[in-house]
Chain A
Amino acid sequence: MPNELVSKKEVLQLTGISYGQLYRWKRKGLIPEAWFVHRSTVTGQETFFPKEKILTRISQIQSMKEQKSLDEMVQLLSPEASTAGSTWEPHVTLKAVGREAQQLLWKESGYTFAELVALAAGSEAIRAGGSRSTAQLLVDILRSKEEYLRDPAGAAAVLAEKKLDREGVSVCVPFVVLAREPVTIDGESRAIHRVDLERLVERVKLSLGEVQ
């Protein structure tokens, strides 16, 4: 079951980590705030986690912690939480998000994580058959809204277009909606491309890990 929850106590038993480590990793941003699910149970307030995500993350941390410092791990595992100013070089960026990104936003150096995610969304839209100018809309809105990237749970960006037919002139206006699910658009508009931000952020992190 992908949405299975596991209690904090079970996590400690299964992984052998201590309360101290769990709280420290949360403080550093290695375990996202959004994964902490507070539930009332018969024995009082308890904290649960999405089982698959938390166990994967803890084993990643455990396998890395001998060679890497906490801050380096944050860079790799939760770049959205890493201290402002972390940037990635163009060659790393293009490998991580796709060559298409070059047409959308070109920088000599130092892409921020928000830009990386924005570019990944844009590249994906182009690969799905979108035009450069509509993909650009996605890139522009995503890189300006970092708060969605820090907490991407349930957030989606929808690239849509609206056809306007007035007195024989017909135009197609593309637009992007960035919101938390459920995202609805009016019936006269057509969604072209939908981006699940949580999945996208995860994917960018993974590919960053691979190319670094």
Chain B
Amino acid sequence: MAKQNVTISGSGKIGGGDYGNVRISGAGRVDGDITAEEIRISGSGRVMGSAKAREITVSGSGRFTGDVVADSFQGSGACAVEGNMKAGEFRCSGSQRIGGGLTAHYVRCSGTLAVGRNVETDVFTSSGKFNIEGLLSADRVEIRLVGDSQVREIGGEKIEVRGESGFNVQLSLTRGFRMGFGGGSLRAKTIEGDELYLESTRAEVVRGVNVRIGPGCRIDRVEYSETLEVHEDAEVKEQVKS
């Protein structure tokens, strides 16, 4: 039997269950856990439970009170997940809040991302702002700093953090016209990896094999096993080769 497709375009409420394509373009609410092929929220949607789908897109305002599982998740509006998020590909260009942890193969963030626990992924790229309260673990971490980001710990193979260079001007519809010097910064307690390049980063401990500390960094202690380079505009209080 073909699964039922549902569209809520005014204001409506459906029960949880197994669906085909679910579209919410007005104000909609799902009461209970939902499984679907595709969930698209472009108005305001609330799922009072967990959601599982091949593809989930939130471009309006979305809220999930449980866990979310998707092969592909795309958030370009404001989305809050109170449980854990598990996705193959996770893209966020709006504002995304996850109360639990985020597990994915690929994470791309160009908006703002707040995660209450750990982020575990193969690849993490960000050109937005993030606040991760746990560990960010990935094979490859590529961060272009915009605004002030925070993470408790980063661990992985190749970690690259670049600050915005010099003078920057931003024009966006929602945030208006902004300009300023220096761009973003990153704060972390520890950063560990094999190949590290950091800019504009404030960290307590950095441990790695080949470590390059770029401009704008303030690091309390660097422990490295092969090579260390420190830029003249960086401050490293203590460096240890082991």
Interface residues of A, Cβ cutoff 8 Å to B: 8-9, 13, 18-24, 26-27, 43-45
Q: Is the CB of B220 within 8 A of A19?
A: no
Contact in complex: B120, A45 (CB < 8 Å): no
Note all chain A residues with C-beta closer than 8 A to B157.
18-21, 23-24
Q: Are A45 and B137 neighbours in the complex by a CB distance under 8 Å?
A: no
Flag B193-204 by CB within 8 Å of A: 1 or 0 each: 110000000001
Report yes or no: B189 in contact with A19, Cβ–Cβ below 8 A. no
Interface size on B, residues (CB 8 A): 22
B residues 191-220 near A (Cβ < 8 Å) are 192-194, 204-205, 207-209, 220
A55 CA / B165 CA spacing, docked (Å): 44
Check B158–A20 contact: CB distance below 8 A: yes
Question: 4 closest pairs, A vs B, by CB?
Answer: A20-B157, A44-B205, A23-B155, A27-B120
Q: Is the CB of A20 within 8 A of B204?
A: no
Residues of chain B with a CB closer than 8 A to A18's CB: 157, 194, 209
Q: Which of A9, A13, A19, A43 contacts B155 (CB 8 A)?
A: A19
Chain A residue contacts of B13, Cβ below 8 A: none
Q: How far is the CB of B106 from chain A (nearest CB, A)?
A: 13
CB <8 Å contact, A19 and B193 = yes
With a cutoff of 8 Å between Cβ atoms, the chain A residues found around residue B158 in the complex are 20
Decide yes or no whether B223 CB sits under 8 A from chain A.
yes
Residue of B nearest to A43 (CB): B221
Complexed CA–CA distance, A27 and B122 (Å): 9
Distance in angstroms between the alpha carbons of A19 and B194 in the assembled complex? 6
In the assembled complex, which residues on chain B have CB atoms less than 8 Å from the CB atom of A24?
Answer: 139, 157
Answer whether A45 and B189 are a contact pair too, CB < 8 Å, given A9-B207, A9-B223, A9-B242.
yes
Is there an interface contact between B155 and A45, defined as CB atoms closer than 8 Å?
Answer: no
Determine if B60 is an interface residue (Cβ-Cβ < 8 Å). Answer: no
B156 in contact with A19 (CB, 8 Å): yes
Mark interface residues in B4-46 (1 if CB within 8 Å of A CB, else 0): 0000000000000000000000000000000000000000000
Contact with A along B168-192 (1 / 0, CB 8 A): 0000000000000000000001101
Contacts of A44 in B (CB 8 A): 189-190, 204-205, 220-221
Please indicate the chain B residues that have their CB under 8 angstroms from the CB of A21 in the complex. 157
- Write the B127-160 contact mask toward A (1 if CB under 8 angstroms, else 0): 0000000000111000000000000000111100
How many whole Å from B217's CB to the nearest CB in chain A?
A: 16
For this complex, 13 residue pairs linking A to B, each with C-beta atoms less than 8 Å apart, are A8-B192, A18-B194, A19-B156, A20-B194, A22-B155, A23-B139, A23-B155, A23-B156, A23-B157, A23-B192, A24-B139, A27-B137, A44-B190
